[in-house]
Structure 1
């Protein structure tokens, strides 16, 4: 399952599946794209450059590619990701790209700082 790959990436990225495989896409994607929840043929690869590793999963049948960029060194923090997919039907279909990039990171005791009085912490994260 694609959803589980995010956790595997953080624990042991060298153990991620590579090559040709079957993957159940993320539930978020299948719901928004109105796709059947099933395993789709995919191709996965893991590359590294300048201390950043990239894990890519391409689903040919879905016209979709997910790429997750993370620090090669432990604790393998996720730095950014892109999700490229076709949206629409026929001649009106367009390739769309969703991107996310880590702006900042703070280490705080989250479970003690998640009330309304702590909302100022969101500003320090740039969200």
Structure 2
């Protein structure tokens, strides 16, 4: 027996090496092809970086006329744009050094509308989080909207997951009391504000499918679903909105009898100077309109003392 092992020692060693190699997945046949690294985001150009990564937000105040209950109601809107690090897993702002490894830069839209209907008021707020030129995450990651008025309040959220959007909602109103459904991966109307600021030359034109605005869906008590829209970009030739070299992005929904036009500056940073939205409210076809009155850049999250009310007065005048 000893002689047999001695004579075949090399074969025994080779056999044991092969068994060990298979156990460790070290053979050429078992080695998995290394995963290619995700494409890196291209660095922003100096003008973009200087404006959007300077540690300040862009704050815009608008004079508003908002359709509701068949009439136009006076109010005001504030449109805020700011960049931040946004976690792709939990889809929330990264606030610790550890979580920033899971985050990417996004451009965030915050839009607030407040208006009065008769004796009571409405307050609407939408946030949209769109990655900045990231090929691994080309889609808007999250849209959320809340609405408060004296009858009650509601909340609606869309999260990008599994190549589509998961919609969840809670509401005082019976038909919206507890919503949970999914929709196809398409662009949201709400993200078009960010897309204009990022690169208006890449706005979708022609016939496209879009999810209509979430604020309007709450005001009209409609469910979110992609609709066919006809879109175009033209030079704006009217006189209602301030600014020079203005362009107008128009979104028309033929099946919903609704149109949105966003007016913006054609030159960087493509400031949004106003918008108008036409749809039927009760029996009247009305056009809501917002006109820019003031823009400032400010790190507003640092200015929350009573003395900072002067900054608010400057914005709201």
TM-score normalised by length of structure 1: 0.88
Deviation of 1:20 (Å): 0.8
Deviation of 1:48 (Å): 2.0
Q: Which residue of 1 aligns with 2:299?
A: 109
Q: Distance in 2 between matches of 1:108 and 1:51?
A: 25
Q: Distance in 2 between matches of 1:120 and 1:57?
A: 37
Is 1:45 the counterpart of 2:239 in the alignment? no
Q: Distance in 2 between matches of 1:62 and 1:122?
A: 38
Q: Distance in 1 between matches of 2:277 and 2:264?
A: 15
Once structures 1 and 2 are overlaid, which stretch shifts more, 54-63 or 108-117?
108-117
Match of 1:6, SS state, is helix
Deviation of 1:6 (Å): 0.9
Q: 1:2–1:24: 8 Å Cα contact kept in structure 2? A: yes
Shift in CA distance, 66/115, structure 1 to aligned 2, threshold 3 Å: farther
Q: Distance in 2 between matches of 1:29 and 1:8?
A: 19
Deviation of 1:118 (Å): 1.4
Deviation of 1:105 (Å): 1.5
Shift in CA distance, 115/83, structure 1 to aligned 2, threshold 3 Å: farther
Kindly tell me the number of residue pairs found equivalent between the two proteins. Answer: 123
- 1:59 corresponds, among 210, 233, 253, to 253
**Moved runs in structure 1, 4+ residues, more than 4 A?**
none
Q: Distance in 1 between matches of 2:262 and 2:271?
A: 10
Deviation of 1:111 (Å): 2.1
The structure whose residues are more often helix, as a share, is 1
Q: Distance in 2 between matches of 1:121 and 1:101?
A: 20
What stretches of structure 1 of length at least 5 have no aligned partner? none
Once structures 1 and 2 are overlaid, which stretch shifts more, 76-85 or 29-38?
29-38
- 1:77 corresponds, among 267, 271, 278, to 271
Deviation of 1:84 (Å): 0.8
Q: Which residue of 2 aligns with 1:7?
A: 194
Q: 1:62–1:86: 8 Å Cα contact kept in structure 2? A: no
TM-score normalised by length of structure 2: 0.37
What stretches of structure 2 of length at least 5 have no aligned partner? 1-187, 237-243
The structure whose residues are more often strand, as a share, is 2
Q: Which residue of 1 aligns with 2:281?
A: 87
Match of 1:105, SS state, is strand
Q: Which residue of 1 aligns with 2:206?
A: 19
Which one has the largest radius of gyration? 2
Deviation of 1:14 (Å): 0.8
Match of 1:106, SS state, is strand
Is 1:120 the counterpart of 2:310 in the alignment? yes
